[in-house]
Amino acid sequence: MSTTQSDRLRALLEPLVSAEGLDLEDIEVSRAGRRRQLRIVVDSDEGVELDACAELSRAVSEKLDETDAMGEGEYVLEVSSPGADRPLSERRHYVRATGRLAKLTLNDATELVARILAVDDEGLDLEVPGVKGRKPTARRVAFADIAKARVEIEFNRKDKKEEEA
């Protein structure tokens, strides 16, 4: 998708997304056979429910029908939330992932898997799991030191409610 079209779509759709109390995370236009596919990814601090995606999809569809932002050809519209293992690239992503395990690649190419404990304007407070029976350790990482990060999916983590029972 051209930068011009991306910017135009973002400017057109961001007010609709914000009106629903959501953040516009990504816009992607791709080819799906003869048709194009417009994928809009939204999120919020509370997560995104299916009903919110459906409601936003209707509003976006109406808005796009009123304009020529997608041109004359057919397209498929998809409104979704980011996946569970989404990349973390903005401060708000880290805030939403507080309490979750994340895999960070630092600027020096080292990798770190740790639980996000707290987030402030400069970086993250992490808990690095202990290895071979050792206790977890605390670590501070500045945003400037993170090349990329992604939430790690945990299948065997007990919920805090389960631990208290």
Q: End-to-end distance of the chain based on CA atoms, in angstroms?
A: 51
Predicted TM-score (pTM) of the model is: 0.71
Do the beta carbons of residue 12 and residue 67 sit within 8 Å?
Answer: yes
Give me the pLDDT at residue 130, please: 85
- Residue 38 DSSP code: E
Do the beta carbons of residue 18 and residue 40 sit within 8 Å?
Answer: no
Helix axes 50-66, 3-19, angle to 10 degrees: 130
pLDDT averaged over 10-residue windows placed end to end, the chain, 165 residues: 73 92 89 85 87 92 87 86 84 91 94 95 93 89 95 73 43
Give me the pLDDT at residue 103, please: 94
Give me the pLDDT at residue 70, please: 83
Give me the pLDDT at residue 165, please: 43
Q: Among all chains, which residue has been given the structure tokens 């009903």?
A: 51
Give me the pLDDT at residue 146, please: 96
Q: Which residues of 36-55 are buried (b: 16+ CB within 10 A; e: fewer)?
A: bebebbbbbeeebeeebbee
Record the tokens describing residue 139, joined without a space: 């670590």
Give me the pLDDT at residue 159, please: 55
Give me the pLDDT at residue 68, please: 80
Say if residue 132 is exposed, middle or buried (CB neighbours under 10 Å; 0-12, 13-18, 19+): exposed
Give me the pLDDT at residue 114, please: 95
